Amino acid sequence: MKVDVLVAEIGSTTTVVNAFNHIHTENPVFVGQGQAPTSVMEGDVTIGLNASIADLQRSLNTDSLEYDEMFATSSAAGGLKMTVHGLVFDMTARAAKEAALGAGAIIHLVTAGKLRRGDLKKIQDLNPNIILIAGGVDYGERDTALNNAEAIRGLNLNIPIIYAGNIENQEEIKLIFEDTKQRVYIVENVFPRIDELNVEPTRKVIQEAFEEHIIHAPGMETIRNVVNEAITPTPGAVMQASKLLGKYLKDIIVIDVGGATTDIHSVTVGSDAIARIQVAPEPTAKRTVEGDLGVYVNRENIIDLITREKLEEEGFNVDKILEEYHSIPKNDEEFRFVERLTEVATLMAVERHAGRIRYVYGPEGRATLAQGKDLTEIKYIIGTGGALTRLPAGKEIMMKIMEQDNPEHLLLPNKGAEVLIDHDYIMASLGVLSMKYEDAAAKLLGKSLGIDLMAIQNEESDWSS
């Protein structure tokens, strides 16, 4: 059997392969999916990759499977580990963090100001995949970023460096690292002016650096023997798909509840009213990661949030369930239990993602300010990931987001927002596919969500004209 494209999602525990055909036509097709345990710990990721392709062959009832192109997303080998270093935490450090998160990074350390000995030791111990240095608006403060670059150079780490700070420092940064083994990427400032975020150029370079250096991660050295197209961090691929959807649906939020974390991606400008009282700029496309909210690895955290007593009152035999707890529920009670954990993870993660109204008092009395991401214009709530796409109550769980009623949170007042499910569980695959075949990826996304994106876009164009 011959297909146009395979996309592999190489996770920390499972590798999934999705097959697509007719990519070059008006009607691209999702052919099927195979999966197998990830083999990164065996020192060769292609073992698990080939096993997942074999599983796909079995599901398609074919003895052989040929393909023209293979893309990949990866969160194996610890994912994309980064440290981020800026000038002021609420400004350049936050902007750099937004860029890194949107590219699919797992951020292990964020610092503001000049690096101290303790910070440098943490960087050494963490051994990140990439280090991001920012600091200073263009033609503003220079010394902090230069000091941090010199300090990081002194660590003698063979780790790529991205500089996305004050434009005046670019040549100096190159000189600091010119005699080292470290590859340096010079990017536009993530915070060029006090009222402007510029995160997209840095996001793009982070993904390029990830693709260039992921092949050196343990177990990933052989990845290029099989994959002949782009390799992207899995969360970054979901963000790419979210931004693609945002072109058609305008104001969306994408929820991915996983075993270890819950990721929220939103693509929305927000309302004009909130923008007028916003204390700091927010990116149009924003990602947050709740590392304590997972329905498998971090299940105990969610149980503590609900309390065992409450779960027992709701009819769950918690001890018995946890004795036999698997990443995939096996019976009705386990399904109900995971749905309950998923509900709490979803609502809590969306609440944390949303901005808030703040009241400050001055000589002229109380003033109302907004801080964080404005979700008040969201029109589509989209579920992806194993929990929300495979649990029977996934759609009902997401509908409860519209029931949250806290006037101090910039949540969804739009009770008529439409809830959509990534039924084929292919959003991450389509994110990386969209980097080369955007139209095909958009059509496949629409099919998985059960909507016609092209028709919606045409309706919007007709209405606006």
**What is the tens place of the pLDDT at every residue in 25-63?**
999 999 999 999 888 778 788 899 999 999 999 999 999
Q: How many CB atoms lie within 10 A of CB 163?
A: 27
DSSP, res 115: P
Give the separation between CA 125 and CA 110, rounded to whole angstroms: 14
pLDDT at 414: 66
Residue 414 phi, psi (nearest 5): -80, 90
* C-alpha of 139 from chain center: 32
Give the chain's radius of gyration (CA, Å).
Answer: 23
pLDDT at 416: 83
Contact between residue 131 and residue 95 where contact means Cβ atoms under 8 Å apart:
no
Residues 6+ apart with CB under 8 A from 364: none
Domains contained in the chain, CATH given:
2-77+218-229 (3.30.420.40), 80-216 (3.40.50.280), 232-464 (3.30.420)
Q: Helix-strand-coil percent breakdown of the chain, rounded to 5?
A: 40, 25, 35
C-alpha angle with apex 220: 218 to 153, nearest 5 degrees? 60
> What tokens were used for 458?
């045409």
Between 224 and 12, name the one with better pLDDT: 224
Q: Got the DSSP string for 348-373? A: HHHHHHB-EEEEEEETTEEEEEEESB
Q: Is the torsion defined by CA of 151, 154, 157, 160 positive or negative?
A: positive
The mean pLDDT value for 408-437 works out to: 91
Residue 187 phi, psi (nearest 5): -130, 160
For the stretch 335-376, pLDDT in tens is: 999 999 999 999 999 999 999 999 888 888 888 999 999 999
* Distances 233 to 9, 55, 210, 394, 395 between C-alpha atoms, Å: 9, 23, 7, 25, 27
Choose among 163, 157, 162: nearest CA to 181. 157
pTM of the prediction?
A: 0.89
For the stretch 310-328, pLDDT in tens is: 999 999 999 999 998 877 7
**N-to-C CA span, the chain:** 46
pLDDT at 65: 93
> What tokens were used for 391?
């649990």
Give the separation between CA 365 and CA 10, rounded to whole angstroms: 55
Residues 6+ apart with CB under 8 A from 131: 82, 83, 85, 123, 152, 157, 159, 160, 161, 162
* Distances 282 to 87, 106, 178, 414 between C-alpha atoms, Å: 18, 20, 34, 21
